[in-house]
Amino acid sequence: MKIVLAYSGGLDTSVLLSWIKEKYDAEMIAFCADIGQEEELHGLEKKAIKTGASKIYIDNLQEEFAKDFIYPMIRAGAIYEGQYFLGTSIARPLIAKRMVEIAKKEKADAIAHGA
C-alpha cells in the first residue's frame, strides 16, 4: 500500500506518518505545500525521511495560492468576525488538489491528512 500524507512536520503528522506506516505496512510519501510558511520548512525533508517517509514533495504553491485563493477571498470579504482572514482553511482545496495530483503520479492507494 502506498499513501500520500499531507505533512507539516509537526507532532500530529509526524506521529501519523509513523503510525500508518507501521500499522498498515504502507509506503508513506509526505507532501507539504509551501504557501509562504518559510521557517516551518527548514529541515522538513530530513525530518520526514527520518520519521519514515520514502520521499517528500515540498511544492511552492505561493503564486497559485495568492492568485486563485487569497485575492478572491479578499474581494469576497471572507473575513471571520470582521478581522481574521481565513488563510489556513482557504488553503485546504489547493493542498487537496496537489495531493491528488501527486497520488496519481505515484500511483498511491490513498491520501491522508492530520487535520
Residue 14 lies in a domain: yes
Separation of alpha carbons 100 and 106, rounded Å? 10
CA pair distance 114, 5, nearest whole angstrom: 8
User: Cβ distance 30 to 55 under 8 Å?
Assistant: yes
Residue 39 is assigned to a structural domain of this protein: yes
Q: What is the pLDDT of residue 114?
A: 85
Tell me the backbone φ, ψ of residue 108, rounded to 5 degrees. Answer: -75, 155
- Domain hosting 6: range is 2-61+91-112
Residue 30 in any domain: the answer is: yes
Region 20-37 average pLDDT: 95
Cα–Cα distance, 31 to 57 (Å, whole number): 5
73 lies in a domain?
no
pLDDT at 10 over 80: yes
CATH of the domain at 13: 3.40.50.620
**pLDDT of 83 over the 90 cut:** no
Which residues face 84 on adjacent strands? 80
Backbone angles phi, psi at 75, to 5 degrees: -60, -35
3-state secondary structure of 71: helix
User: Bigger pLDDT: 70 or 27?
Assistant: 27
Query: Domain tally for the chain?
Result: 1
84: burial class by Cβ within 10 Å (0-12, 13-18, 19+)? exposed
